[in-house]
Amino acid sequence: MKQAQRGFTLIELVMVIVILGVLAAVALPKFVDLKGDAQAAALQGVVGTINSASAINYAARSANSAKGTATIGLTCTTAAEAILQDGKMPTGYTTTTISLVAGNNVCTVTQTDGAATSDANILGL
């Protein structure tokens, strides 16, 4: 009588290793380069903060003239710093003016350690 076969053959083990290798080769690149996505998300967070702070500042000044007029007359850099809670841009970010239109200033926010840029609208400039 023959005994029942136990375990896996060499061919079965090699096939499992090959399949795992292919899966790793396909899935790994999707998880390795997350730095760019993180920087883009951080940049969007800074731009969103500037946009929100600008809208709140504009609304407060428009509703209550005792706080000053809604037209501030500042450049992008000084306006962004004036409306942010800390009074300055976060470390690693700069602003430059794209266009000056009455009541709305379009600024580019740039990460200084990368090439990522995004536009912010500052109201009441």
Domain residues for the domain of 68 are: 35-123
**pLDDT, position 52:** 84
pTM: 0.62
Domain for residue 13, yes or no?
no
Domain for residue 45, yes or no?
yes
Three-class HEC string of 17-81: HHHHHHHHHHHHHHHHCCHHHHHHHHHHHHHHHHHHHHHHHHHHHHHCHHHCCCCCCCCHHHHHH
Number of domains in the chain: 1
Domain for residue 109, yes or no?
yes
Read off φ and ψ for residue 32, nearest 5 degrees.
Answer: -80, -45
Q: What is the mean pLDDT of residues 45-60?
A: 82
Domain for residue 3, yes or no?
no
For 74-117, the pLDDT digits (tens) are 677 777 777 777 777 788 887 877 776 666 777 888 887 766 77
Helix axes 76-83, 35-63, angle to 10 degrees: 80
Domain for residue 111, yes or no?
yes
As beta bridge partners, residue 107 has 97, 120
- Which one is predicted more confidently, 28 or 98? 28
**pLDDT, position 71:** 56
